[in-house]
Structure 1
Amino acid sequence: MDVRIHEYHVPPLENVAKVLQEGLQKSFTEVSVTVEDCPDLKKAPFHLAAEGLSGLPRICDIGGVPYLIPLAQPEKRYNYEEVASLAGVPDGFFVGAGAGPCHIIGTNSELMPNIKCSGGSGSLTRNETHYARICEDGKSHLMEKVPNGTADFCLMGNVFLSQGKPGKALRLRLKRRTGSDNLTTAIRKILLETFGPDKPVGLGGVFLISKGKAKLHIMPAFSKTALTSDEDVDKWLHYFEFRAPLICLSVMSSCDPGWDLRIDHTHCFSTHGAGGHYHCDTTPDEVEYECWFNVAEKLVRVDQPKETHQIGRD
């Protein structure tokens, strides 16, 4: 399998905190960005598979949207244990977004990767991965943990990878959105403006929407007709408004310097049955975010599509 490793620009966390503290005040009425010891993310309200976000931090971009659109290629199958080895972090901890294992679930789905790999250490893999799918009635949805603890997935994965160790991380506390961009877009634009297109910066981790509601989508079964435009994709997707709390697993890059990246991708799960692909909060006067992010050192590009496009990447 084709694997390419690229180097991110890695500014000190303190520098990133400073520019986000300044920049996010244009988007939220209350902003606090600090560098702190990461809490134990295995505990509520985050429910992750590992304690922290430190240790060989990188972003993995596996497959891509061209394997879903215009027509799905379900034979594109991957496994997070294998990706961890390819990325040089066999005991890695993944959080992020992607497509579920259709060969196991039986249909297309949104995947919320949340898995700490064993790496042959003798310890058991801890898998807290969830998925969301559209039910057979074509309207309602189901969100639950992946069956049998599978580490498989299909088509694409956009994940933050680390050893899951405790350590310093960025903590963002934000209230009441005033800007037009969603959270991840606002962050990306600040990083791009600060560091420029020649110094791509990658961030990943988790954020909690603790108050308010958010717009999410869930993919239905694979389209039998080709999706050839963003309008086609929009009509195909199923949209929902879900209430907080929502646990959002997120990766983003400030720019794409020719690596054919999914520039940002966030999937959410919850303890009350809500989940899917994050678009934006829908209650800006009420919304509150708490984020824990780390800066990635490398980008690991796995099985990059030979033919690409920009459709369906919102």
Structure 2
Amino acid sequence: MMNTIQRMLFVHSYLFSLRHEVEQMEFMGTSAEKRDLFTPSLKDVATELNNRLTLYFKTVDVDVVECPDLHQPPYCFAARGLCGQPMLVEVGGPTYLIPKVDRSKVYDFRDIQRVLNINPCYFMGAGAGPFPYTEVNCEGIYNVMIDGSVVKQRSKISKINVNNGTSEQQDLPNTETRFALLANLFVSQGLPGEVLKIHVKERIGCHDFIASIRNCLKDAYSTAVVGLGGVFLMKSGTFRQHVMPDFATDEIKSEEQLNGWLRFYNMSAPLVAVGTLVTGDMDLDLRLQHFHSSSDHNEAGHYHNDITPETVEYLAYFNIANSVVRIDKPKDSHDMGRD
């Protein structure tokens, strides 16, 4: 673990470098910008989280381990691991969904791979689903590996059954590589290697699992922006999640209207969630956390929090991102739809 002086020097060096390390990129005629993130060691982050997460959970165990084989259950992902050029990628944003949907905002993972110039390129994370394919607005739980011309798709969507109001999960085929409106993605080469293992039980704080981690990292590294991405398993408990219905016919102009439009459900463990978190927005209008989950029992959606703090158990495998790439940042922004 770094001592206080070492951390101050490391943070100061990182903050100074931000004045120079900005890479402008081009993506399908829209803006794209790449910036470095602060990258403490896995060991240092593990030590900080071990010490600080005890404010939020009764049982805490954080370590640096070899990533489990994510091909295997309960994950069944498109790649084995979370290593190899790890980065965060944010595309679009809530402004393209609310107050009024912009149906022109449809993206393709293959185009993003070309811009990032990574091969193989493994995407995992949370976003809006490919409505041109599903013919309805939906949640996207993304997990797709692109290696040359070969696509291995393990993504799912969650949508509302209009007949009975329940949510239902659906797999996406290898031929469907689009998503719409917004996405928060952890990108790597999907290689094995060392990652953070975060195992907690019995929530004693008021914040959700991801916000608790963000708060700890913010306290540890101050203004230096740290980003993580990967997967967490909701091993036990019940969880409040939402699923978007079809696009609203009227403009959504307030958080109250937004929550009235969304459909909220209590979903049961086990659930497997993928997404990203970051401790600051770096003037890039970044979404600070965004995770979507899926299951083997047809429940899937956007993670908010557990509603059974006494019995909840989370197990996460995260890697530290080296950089963040911001693609098609909206010109105008708002704070709605970021929970």
TM range (shorter): over 0.9
AA aligned opposite 2:221: F
Q: Which residue of 2 aligns with 1:99?
A: 128
Q: Does residue 307 in structure 1 map to residue 332 in structure 2?
A: yes
Residue pair 2:228, 2:276 contacting (<8 A) in 1 also: yes
Question: Where do residues 23-102 of structure 1 align in structure 2 (5 Å cutoff)?
Answer: 23-102=52-131
Is the partner of 2:49 in helix, strand or coil? helix
Deviation at 1:85, TM superposition (A): 1.8
Is 1:115 matched up with 2:115?
Answer: no
| Residue 15 (structure 2) aligns with | none
Q: Which runs of 5+ in 2 are unaligned?
A: 1-26
Aligned residues: percent identity?
35
Please state whether the residue corresponding to 2:110 is helix, strand or coil. helix
Taking the aligned partners of 2:191 and 2:54, their CA distance within structure 1 comes to 31
Q: Distance in 1 between the 2:220 and 2:281 partners? A: 15
Show the counterpart of 1:240. Answer: 265
* Alignment TM-score, normalising by the size of structure 1: 0.97
Q: Among 172, 195, 200, which residue is 1:174 paired with?
A: 200
Task: State whether structure 2 residue 247 is matched by structure 1 residue 222.
Answer: yes
Q: Which moved more, 1:293-302 or 1:253-262?
A: 253-262
The SS at the match of 1:304 is coil
Alignment partner, residue 253 of structure 1: 278
Which amino acid counterpart does residue 97 of structure 1 have in structure 2? A
Count residues in correspondence: 310
Deviations 1:262-298 (A, max 9, x none): 1110000011101000000111111111100000001
Q: 1:159 is aligned with what amino acid?
A: L
Contact 2:80–2:192 under 8 Å retained in 1: yes
Contact conserved, 1:81 with 1:119, CA < 8 A, in 2?
no
Following the alignment from structure 1 to structure 2, what is the Cα–Cα distance between the partners of residues 221 and 148?
A: 24
Quote how far apart the aligned CAs of 1:148 are.
5.3
- The amino acid of 1:95's aligned partner reads M
C-alpha distance in 2 between matches for 1:85 and 1:22: 40
Alignment of 1:271-310 (within 5 A): 271-310=296-335
Contact 2:243 2:264 in 1 (8 A): yes
Q: Secondary structure at the match of 1:22?
A: helix
Alignment counterpart, residue 177 of structure 2, candidates 143, 146, 151? 151
Task: Give the aligned partner of residue 185 of structure 1.
Answer: 211
Aligned-residue Cα RMSD (Å) equals: 1.0
Query: Following the alignment from structure 2 to structure 1, what is the Cα–Cα distance between the partners of residues 265 and 54?
Result: 28
AA aligned opposite 1:193? D
In the other structure, the counterpart of 1:13 is: 42
2:147 partner SS: coil
Q: Name the SS for the 1:268 alignment partner.
A: strand
Aligned partners of 1:137, 1:220: CA distance in 2, in Å? 12
* Alpha-carbon distance in structure 2 between the residues aligned to 1:229 and 1:152: 29
Q: Check conservation: 2:238, 2:312, Cα contact below 8 A.
A: yes
SS in 2 for 1:312: coil
Distance of 2:211 and 2:175 partners within structure 1: 32
Shift of 1:147: 4.3
CA displacement at 1:259 relative to structure 2:
1.0
CA–CA distance in structure 1, aligned partners of residues 299 and 124 of structure 2:
17
Offset at 1:91?
Answer: 1.8
Change over 3 Å in CA distance of 1:117–1:148 after alignment to 2: closer
Q: Mind listing any 5+ residue stretches in structure 1 that lack a counterpart?
A: none
Match of 2:18 in 1: none
Asked if 2 retains the 8 angstrom alpha-carbon contact of 1:81 and 1:90, the reply is no
Superposition deviation, residue 138 in structure 1: 6.0
> Given that residues 105 and 147 in structure 1 are in contact (C-alpha distance below 8 angstroms), is that contact kept between their aligned partners in structure 2?
no
SS in 1 for 2:44: helix
User: 1:88 offset after TM fit, Å?
Assistant: 2.4
Matches of 1:98 and 1:6, distance apart in 2: 21
Q: Deviations over 1:88-125 (max 9, x none)?
A: 214211111000011110010000010111234xxx32
Deviation readout 1:183-220 (Å, 9 max, x if unpaired) = 010011111111112x1000000000011111100000
State which structure, 1 or 2, has the greater radius of gyration over its C-alpha atoms. Answer: 2
Per the alignment, do residues 80 and 172 of structure 1 end up closer, same or farther by CA in structure 2, a change over 3 Å counting?
same
Question: How much does 1:153 deviate?
Answer: 0.5
Q: Per-residue CA shift, 1:113-165, capped at 9, x if unaligned?
A: 10111234xxx321100000011226112101024541100101101000000
